[in-house]
A and B are shown apart, each in its own frame.
Chain A
Amino acid sequence: MGNFFSSMFDRLWGVNREMRILILGLDGAGKTTILYRLQIGEVVTTKPTIGFNVETLVYKNLKLNVWDLGGQTSIRPYWRCYYSNTAAVIFVVDSTDRDRMPTAAHELHLMLREDELQDAALLVFANKQDQPAALSASEVSRELNLVELKDRSWSIVASSATNGDGISEGLDWLIDVVREEQM
């Protein structure tokens, strides 16, 4: 009986619920840096991810299971192996890399077409805003054709993983949306 109540409360407060979040994006966009910025609040030196990193973190009473999948061309095909049960996708874009914006847009739309991700919320980080040549969030939004997205909660936030700007704003939005949708 006690068990029943505690799980009721858990449901109410959202503790002990795990939520799967994927961090995707092209190679070198800053996905791993964002993951560890979220987990330990520091900038770590990273190597290109061969495969994936997964960390569990508690954010605002919510247990998040964050998967950072490698962005190299050879690894992108395996993203789909990790789509199931995903509550939200964080798509990270290198705002300075104008040349590959079309590639990023292509990968993003390809991913969003997958059945398993139809209910997932989308947060786009226009990353590396600390660099001088970075495109603004609205420019990135245009490059990625985000306005075309229908039936999906999405948002784009300008961010810098190295100095932490925009990261928590983005995540706050994401948590709110997910909480609303799932409860």
Chain B
Amino acid sequence: MSTHTYKKFEEADSGILPDKMTIYQDCLNAFNESPVNAKRCRLLISRLLQLLAQGQTFPRTEATALFFAISKLFQHPNDSLRQAVYLAIKELSAVSDDVLMATSSIMKDVQNGSDMIKPNAIRSLTRVLDESTAFSAERLFKSAVVSKHPSISSAALVSSYHLLPVAESTVKRYANETQEAVSDLKTYPYQSGTSEHYPNSTYIAQYHALGLLYLLRKHDKVALMKLVQQFSAGNLLKNQLAQVQLVKLVGSLLQKDPQLVTQFTPLLLSWLSNKYESVQLEDAKLITSLPDRFVSPEIFASAVQTLQGLLTVPRVTTRFAAVRVLNRISMVAPEKIVVCNPELESLINDSNRNVSTYAITSLLKTGTSNNIASLIKTITNFIHEISDDFKIIIIDAVRTMALKFPEEWKSILNFLINVLKQGEGGFEFKNSIVEALFDLVQFVPQSRELAFENLCDFIEDCEYNEILVRILHILGKEGPSMKIPSLYVRHIYNRVVLENSIVRSAAVVALSKFALVKNDPTLVESIEILLRRISNDADDEVRDRATISLEFIESIKSKEGASSSAAEDLLQSKYSYDLVSLESKLSQYMSAKQESFKAPFDSSSVHRYTEDERKAIDLKRKQEQLFSALPSAGKSKRAASSSQDAEKRNGSYAGPASNEVDQDLQSTKFVEELESIEELKSLGPIINTSKEVPLTETEAEFVVSGVKHLFKNHVVLQFHITNTLTDVALDNVSVGCTMEQEDSTALQETSTIPVDRIMPSETFACYVVYEKSEEVVTEGFLNTLYFTTRELDATTHEPFAGDEGFQDEYEIDSLFLTAGDYIKGSFVGNFSACFDELPHSEVAVYNIKENISLQEVVDKLVVNTSCLTLDNTQFAPTDSNSHTLKLFGKSVLNGARVALVVRMIKSSKGIALKGEIRSDDANLCNDVVDGLI
């Protein structure tokens, strides 16, 4: 090699990346030399690692060549070089072929190498092993795990995490050694005299071992319980992370079975006063995220107390973590953390803005209608001092508050308008304010006038096109129905005169909607004049929109009747499409073969929402956002496991709400499924589809869930059957349904559609079809699963040829067709007015003897009636024994409205319910009363 390149090497600190190909060539040359120059090779490897760390990669062939060259360095016994070699092998293992060639050499080092290189050797060994070679390394791992040297033990334990997906059985075989490693306190083998120069052992191996043990036993509840028992006793765990890990382990146990809380209570309490802040935090986090009824108020209070104490510690991270947990509690149960308010208030001025922002949002949540005004004042002073990102968080908090306290709209509106009009702030910030205002306008109708007035002011001087367009849109949508529509016309027309073409075209559309105002002919005339003027605009788009709007207005005026209503619809649509299913339909249409383009796209099959339905969905989604901010056990589990399964376990906690988008997608999926079945095609379009109800335990051999589909004259029960057995196939699977009222004539079973075969871990659906009259029919179905089991040949995974199989049956839970299946949740702005105006009314009183919480009753009611909760009544207060639930919905058959007010009181004897139901339809009224609980 030339001196020139060598010099380049010496400039190690220059920070300039060395040339990739130079390094490659130098590596190949230097590593193949004999004898090896250890120092130079080490330097070269470090350069190579630097390249790889910066994200540079080598093509596979070059990486492989590098790997083989590096493997030649095993001939040199220098420990430092060997460490470098291991690092390089670890990095290259991802991009190079044939890394297994280093296996034997690495194994030799793990066995006989010096303590210095052993940890590195173990780490790179995991990278070169595969399923077939892993077992030969088992003994090495075993002895490394029990090694007295903490670094070696840790390396082996952590490497085992990586080995687990590759060769689980191998790792399982040294579970006992791993357990030993938890209780074994390993220290560095240095003389005590020199210890000040060396790190004292942190016992980190305990943490690593505990983590690995958990991975190995996470499906075995009893084993985990034993682990907790064993390691929580005495002062066994010295490492703080290990202790945190143990808390988490208890957390995962409680998540699966909240009944265990009582058993763990002493432990949970003792952790609250642990000497480590992190353990206290983790414990408090765990306690506060458990389902309410399993946690005694005392424990919860002491957890909050611990958090309160942590708010004033000097360490910022601790403060942050504590305030974050409190913030989470504030979303669901703000009354429980009111005690922390003084500390939270002092945190508003915390030098760390993350902490102060969380403090403020928590305060906003704990605020009651009494102190909102003063809180808003505090924020107004504060908001100018922080960056946009935090402002947005605060605006979001204010926005949710607006939904929670609709009666406080005035001060909230004032605050929003103030910050909106103050000049500073970027687009995202302004947009979030406008978003908040839109919510306010949509769900608190009283605020509309004032809000629109101010929005009109704002658009006179707004620099962001996007926001302008949005405001113009909402003015056009809501303006015509306001008291004095002409007020807004001037502001909108100003935009046409002053703004660019994008804003102009939006303004034209908004203007044209004012032509639909019924009782003001002069206004309609003026609009026409304005639009005519605009149709000379310089921009194509603006002209086009003005012309077509004029055309529509003409046709409305000239002809009364069908075509005019079509034109009206085009100007101001009363429906909007379900975007999710529209998208899937359209992409289906686009991806179909050429011939399908001959027929135009049929939009009638896409579900359409009326304005009220759209609002109902929006509100529901917004209410759920309160939850989505919750990183709680329930929510994350929900995402992980199948939704229905999680719903069953955590239903009481996360509420009956499920993601609306999923729901939409699912119903679209059902429609497609049903349409693909010949027998069901003749039934016409689906009117309503219920949620999926589990009919067995999720641990059962056959997991069944049921869905009810309503058609005009039919009911179809769909059963999803999952075969969880591993060695048995199910043939001729069908579900037999018997009606509870056997003599009833309202329903006639017409056909069943069985499944031919369900192989292990497959899911199929079978159907039972009933003919029904057009009215609301309620019924309970007793269901039995009929099938023939056929044992499977383990080698071919086919049933044995001669096996006739056993006929068998399996009883599953009943499925109920209730009044709720005929109702869809709907939104109404003024609930009490609407309630009073409905003609038919029924009252029902129930007494629930079971010991369940008010929240569970609320959730059950929401599920049974499938109505939307209004006026923020979906959460039962945790500090009171009574609650009033307001529900609203519409019949899917005839659109009749249903409104319910349910009052409930919890006492020592149980829960007393009084439900008052009002509706347009007397029959529906009756049916809902009957099926309430």
Q: Which residues of A contact B104 (CB under 8 A)?
A: 49-53, 70
Asked if B751 is at the interface (CB within 8 A of a chain A CB), the reply is: no
Asked if B405 is at the interface (CB within 8 A of a chain A CB), the reply is: no
Instruction: Provide the bound-state CA to CA distance between A120 and B831, in Å.
Output: 97
Q: Which residues of A contact B98 (CB under 8 A)?
A: 78
A-contact bits for B623-655, CB 8 A (1 contact / 0 none): 000000000000000000000000000000000
Stretch at the interface among A81-89, A150-158, A160-168: A81-89
Asked if B108 is at the interface (CB within 8 A of a chain A CB), the reply is: yes
Instruction: Provide the bound-state CA to CA distance between A82 and B68, in Å.
Output: 8
Contact assessment for A54 and B136 in the assembled complex, using a CB-CB cutoff below 8 Å: no
Q: Which residues of chain B from 666 to 696 have a CB within 8 Å of any chain A CB?
A: none
Instruction: Provide the bound-state CA to CA distance between A75 and B71, in Å.
Output: 14
Contact check: which of B34, B35, B72, B133 meets A50 at CB < 8 Å?
B133
Min CB distance, B79 to chain A, in Å? 15
Contact assessment for A50 and B32 in the assembled complex, using a CB-CB cutoff below 8 Å: no
Q: Which residues of chain A from 97 to 150 have a CB within 8 Å of any chain B CB?
A: none
Min CB distance, A25 to chain B, in Å? 15
Instruction: Provide the bound-state CA to CA distance between A82 and B34, in Å.
Output: 12
Q: Which residues of chain B from 91 to 114 have a CB within 8 Å of any chain A CB?
A: 98, 100-105, 108
Asked if B15 is at the interface (CB within 8 A of a chain A CB), the reply is: no
Contact assessment for B101 and A75 in the assembled complex, using a CB-CB cutoff below 8 Å: yes
Q: Taking each of A49, A50, A53, A75, which has the highest tally of chain B beta carbons within 10 Å of its own beta carbon?
A: A50
Contact assessment for A18 and B101 in the assembled complex, using a CB-CB cutoff below 8 Å: no
Contact assessment for A82 and B100 in the assembled complex, using a CB-CB cutoff below 8 Å: no
Asked if B816 is at the interface (CB within 8 A of a chain A CB), the reply is: no
Contact assessment for B77 and A53 in the assembled complex, using a CB-CB cutoff below 8 Å: no
Contact assessment for B101 and A65 in the assembled complex, using a CB-CB cutoff below 8 Å: no
Asked if B74 is at the interface (CB within 8 A of a chain A CB), the reply is: yes
Q: Which residues of B contact A49 (CB under 8 A)?
A: 104
Asked if A56 is at the interface (CB within 8 A of a chain B CB), the reply is: yes
Contact assessment for B103 and A51 in the assembled complex, using a CB-CB cutoff below 8 Å: yes
Min CB distance, B793 to chain A, in Å? 32
A50 with B103: in contact, given A85-B32, A85-B34 (CB under 8 Å)?
A: yes
Instruction: Provide the bound-state CA to CA distance between A54 and B108, in Å.
Output: 10
Contact check: which of B32, B34, B100, B108 meets A53 at CB < 8 Å?
B108
Contact assessment for A84 and B105 in the assembled complex, using a CB-CB cutoff below 8 Å: no
Q: Which chain A residue shows the least CB distance to B64?
A: A81
Q: Which residues of chain B from 718 to 773 have a CB within 8 Å of any chain A CB?
A: none
A-contact bits for B33-64, CB 8 A (1 contact / 0 none): 01100000000000000000000000000000
Min CB distance, A38 to chain B, in Å? 15
Contact assessment for A82 and B72 in the assembled complex, using a CB-CB cutoff below 8 Å: yes
Contact assessment for A20 and B103 in the assembled complex, using a CB-CB cutoff below 8 Å: no
Q: Which residues of B contact A85 (CB under 8 A)?
A: 32, 34
Instruction: Provide the bound-state CA to CA distance between A82 and B74, in Å.
Output: 12
Number of interface residues of B (CB under 8 A): 19
A-contact bits for B577-595, CB 8 A (1 contact / 0 none): 0000000000000000000
Contact assessment for A54 and B75 in the assembled complex, using a CB-CB cutoff below 8 Å: yes
Contact assessment for B102 and A51 in the assembled complex, using a CB-CB cutoff below 8 Å: yes
A-contact bits for B113-133, CB 8 A (1 contact / 0 none): 000000000000000000001
Instruction: Provide the bound-state CA to CA distance between A84 and B71, in Å.
Output: 14
A78 with B34: in contact, given A54-B75, A65-B75 (CB under 8 Å)?
A: no
Instruction: Provide the bound-state CA to CA distance between A65 and B104, in Å.
Output: 17
Contact assessment for A47 and B108 in the assembled complex, using a CB-CB cutoff below 8 Å: no
A50 with B77: in contact, given A20-B34, A65-B34 (CB under 8 Å)?
A: no
Q: Which chain B residue shows the least CB distance to A56?
A: B75
Min CB distance, A182 to chain B, in Å? 13
Q: Which chain B residue shows the least CB distance to A48?
A: B136
Q: Which residues of B contact A82 (CB under 8 A)?
A: 68, 72
Min CB distance, B308 to chain A, in Å? 59
Q: Which chain A residue shows the least CB distance to B68?
A: A81
A18 with B105: in contact, given A51-B100, A54-B75 (CB under 8 Å)?
A: no
Q: Which residues of A contact B75 (CB under 8 A)?
A: 54, 56, 65, 67
Q: Which residues of B contact A51 (CB under 8 A)?
A: 71, 100-105
Q: Which residues of chain A from 15 to 69 have a CB within 8 Å of any chain B CB?
A: 18, 20, 47, 49-54, 56, 65, 67
Min CB distance, B247 to chain A, in Å? 42
Min CB distance, B82 to chain A, in Å? 12
Contact check: which of A20, A53, A65 meets B105 at CB < 8 Å?
A53
A18 with B108: in contact, given A50-B133, A56-B75 (CB under 8 Å)?
A: no
Q: Which residues of A contact B77 (CB under 8 A)?
A: 56
Q: Which residues of A contact B68 (CB under 8 A)?
A: 78, 81-82
Q: Which residues of A contact B100 (CB under 8 A)?
A: 50-51
Instruction: Provide the bound-state CA to CA distance between A18 and B100, in Å.
Output: 27
Q: Taking each of B101, B104, B133, which has the highest tally of chain A beta carbons within 10 Å of its own beta carbon?
A: B104
A-contact bits for B230-258, CB 8 A (1 contact / 0 none): 00000000000000000000000000000
Instruction: Provide the bound-state CA to CA distance between A67 and B74, in Å.
Output: 10
Min CB distance, A59 to chain B, in Å? 15
Q: Which residues of B contact A53 (CB under 8 A)?
A: 104-105, 108
Min CB distance, B117 to chain A, in Å? 15
A-contact bits for B556-585, CB 8 A (1 contact / 0 none): 000000000000000000000000000000
Min CB distance, B837 to chain A, in Å? 83
Q: Which chain A residue shows the least CB distance to B103?
A: A50
Min CB distance, B98 to chain A, in Å? 6
Task: List 4 additional A-B contacts (Cβ < 8 Å) besides A52-B71, A78-B98, A85-B34.
Answer: A53-B108, A54-B75, A78-B101, A82-B72
Show the binding face of A for B, using Cβ within 8 Å. 18, 20, 47, 49-54, 56, 65, 67, 70, 75, 78, 81-82, 84-85
Show the binding face of B for A, using Cβ within 8 Å. 32, 34-35, 68, 71-72, 74-75, 77, 98, 100-105, 108, 133, 136
